[in-house]
Amino acid sequence: MSRNAPSTTRRTLHYYWQVTRKHLGLFAALMASTFLFVALLSYGNPYVMSLVVDRVSEGSITSDQVFSTYGPYIVALIAINLVGQAASKLQDYTMYKLEIAAAYDLATMSFDALCNQSMSFHSNRFGGTLVSQTSKFMSAYQQLLETITFPFLPVVCSVIFTCAILAPRVPLYVVILMVLLAIYACVSYYMYKRILSLNEKAASAQNQLSGELSDSVANILAVKTSGREDYERALFDQANRNVVERDSKRMWASLTRGIITAAITVVIMSVVAVFIAGGNAWFGITPGTLVMMFTYTYTATNQFNFINNGLQRFNRAFGDASGMTATLDEPRLVADKPGAPAMVVREGTIDFQNIGFYYTDGNVKTPVFDDFNLHIPAGQRVGLVGLSGAGKTTLTKLLLRLSDIQDGRILIDGQNVADCTQQSLRRSIAYVPQEALLFHRTIAENISYGRPDATMEQIREAARQANALEFIENLPQGFETITGERGVKLSGGQRQRVAIARALLADCPVLVLDEATSALDSESEALVQDALKTLMRGRTCIVVAHRLSTVASLDRIVVLDHGKVVEDGPHAELIKVGGEYAHLWDRQTGAYLE
């Protein structure tokens, strides 16, 4: 068994109990109704019938004595079935209500955990796998709840009522029966623990399969244009075969457990057969008690038989839930301090003071910044340039606190970004990346994403300033056009202008542009550049660019090399200096070749 399996199971139960505790009344009603339902219908009916059999064995009665003799038994049976059926319906109601309420809470818990994790966390995981884990985490709770309700609670009832009713009449039989049932339960639990790790491995394989499928489908254009369908199919087939292999191991382990517990069941029924056959002759047991012995033993054995299936469902549920449990247990690499205040940005002065930062991949540290300093006055437009790996994009992510620095401070208007809430920080910064981040929603919803209370007129004005109004109005459904997943229904230039319109409407004091025009054609770039000029007006701007024409007109250009500032100044001055920036400029404009 996996060493981590018990702790994973305990952690899963911890999260499920957190949700169940919020609806403790429903849970208690479910348990009580199940107990009453089983007690009355499975044990109350046979008990009354045993009394009837004993009365019949005492001798025959006349027809006019039927109701006077058996009337109380008839009334008892009707009452037992009436209350038992009512308890059954209450069980159904409380089960549905609890499952619905818990599903909402578990979905919220999972969503919050995923949304509040760092970008490093998401960069190392398949999005499809996380979605699959969330779905399985929710369904596993339902499976566990149903398994507890049936068969495990009926098993407890069978032991309690069998002992309570039969022990005073046939104590030896009850002792033997309880010993055999205890052996059955111990064997089932021991094998359950052995199979638990197999279920977690099977669930992990299923999650990997979902991740491979999601990755291939999400990048289907790259697959097709590269002619790599066979390669992706081979990856998927390998993951699929891994699922089959692990499911097969789980199947054989479950079958082995079933065979062993079935053998114990045969022994139990053999014992009851002997007692029923000779019970009256050897011990003077009445016919009614013999009927109860058989009925209760048969019921208890059936309930214990379901333990095998119940433990298998437990195994599968805990295995399915293990992925999201690990995710919920994952420490937040970027977290708000308790009671952190909201950031209020009025001017937009930015200071990077003595920044030290490194990425960690496994146990390997990759340093990016060491004692890095940069001051950006309010309202200044600053370009960040340099070769790939110089730290340009990393610097913007640290400003947005998508990762936390190890040393130093980042200040906006004198406020440490690490001391304020992440949401208030990011609502003060408009971010436009190289690939526009659009939702599978209407264009209007995408533009107003950072300001959901915006009116339609404000949305239209933002689109106009972003040079997006014309193409939007030419679409069949205008602003109500669904953009498709990640905006696939729009061209690159159209997506970027929608993203700029969103930033305009958000009206943040700080603006970060990360390669916002590098993937565009010349015509789209001209429209986007014009929109960006409008967007940058009156804001503190950080513009990351490889294409130097994007930053040439800015107030200031900072050249980075391996996490260090090697040049800093306006375009004209840096050209005169003839350093790294001039070298890059010459290469892009062709002067270097000439």
Least confident of 33-42, 77-86, 271-280, 284-293: 271-280
Structural domain boundaries enclosing 184: 5-329
- pLDDT, greater one: 183 or 27: 27
User: Is 161 inside any structural domain?
Assistant: yes
pLDDT of residue 536: 87
Nearest-angstrom CA–CA distance, 527 and 265:
79
Residue found under tokens 């009603």? 29
- Note the pLDDT tens digit of each residue in 446-477: 999 989 899 999 999 999 988 899 999 999 89
- Give the residue-averaged pLDDT of 179-185: 86
More confident residue, 420 or 255: 420
Could you tell me if 184 and 264 are in contact, meaning their C-beta atoms sit under 8 angstroms apart? yes
Query: What mean pLDDT is predicted for residues 404-410?
Result: 95
Q: What is the 3-state secondary structure (H, E, C) of 214-278?
A: HHHHHCHHHHHHCCCHHHHHHHHHHHHHHHHHHHHHHHHHHHHHHHHHHHHHHHHHHHHHHHHHH
d(CA 145, CA 363): 40
Number of domains in the chain: 1
**H/E/C letters for each residue in 422-485?**
HHHHHCCEEEECCCCCCCCCEHHHHHCCCCCCCCHHHHHHHHHHCCCHHHHHHCCCHHHCECCH
Q: What is the CATH number of the domain that holds 261?
A: 1.20.1560.10
- Cite the DSSP H helix spans in 284-390: 287-329
Report CA-CA distances (Å) from 281 to 172, 277, 290.
15, 8, 12
Provide the β-strand partners of residue 361. 364
* CA dihedral sign of residues 205, 211, 214, 217: negative
Contacting residues for 253 by C-beta, under 8 A, at least 6 apart: 191, 194, 195, 198
What is 493-546 written as a DSSP string?
HHHHHHHHHHHHHHT-SEEEEESTTTTS-HHHHHHHHHHHHHHHTTSEEEEE-S
**pLDDT tens by residue, 249-293:** 888 887 887 788 788 888 888 888 888 788 778 878 888 888 888
> Is residue 418 situated within a structural domain?
no
So what's the pLDDT on residue 520?
A: 57
Q: Which two tokens mark 325?
A: 């449990």
Top mean pLDDT of 42-56, 373-387, 532-546 is at 373-387
H-helix or E-strand containing 182? helix 171-218
Residue 292 lies in a domain: yes
445 within some domain: no
Is there a domain that residue 263 lies in?
Answer: yes
Write down the pLDDT at residue 266: 86
149 in any annotated domain: yes
Q: How far apart are CA 527 and CA 495, in angstroms?
A: 12
Strongest mean pLDDT among 8-17, 169-178, 184-193: 8-17
Candidate from 65-69, 287-291, 429-433, 516-520 with smallest mean pLDDT: 516-520
Domain assignment present for 551: no
**Omega into 151 within 30° of 0, i.e. cis?**
yes
Contact at 8 Å (CB) between 536 and 465?
Answer: no
Residues contacting 337, CB < 8 A, separation 6+: 418, 419
Q: Minimum mean pLDDT among 41-45, 311-315, 323-327, 432-436: which range? A: 311-315
CA distance 410 to 353: 6
Average pLDDT, the chain: 87
Q: Give pLDDT, residue 484.
A: 81
Mean per-residue pLDDT for 338-363?
91
Rounded distance, CA 306 to CA 155, Å?
Answer: 9
385 falls within a domain: no
Distant-in-sequence contacts of 431-434, Cβ < 8 A, 24+ apart: 431/396, 431/400, 431/503, 431/512, 431/514, 432/496, 432/499, 432/500, 432/503, 432/511, 432/512, 432/513, 432/514, 432/516, 432/535, 433/499, 433/514, 433/515, 433/516, 434/514, 434/515, 434/516, 434/518, 434/519
In Å, the largest CA–CA distance within the chain is 125
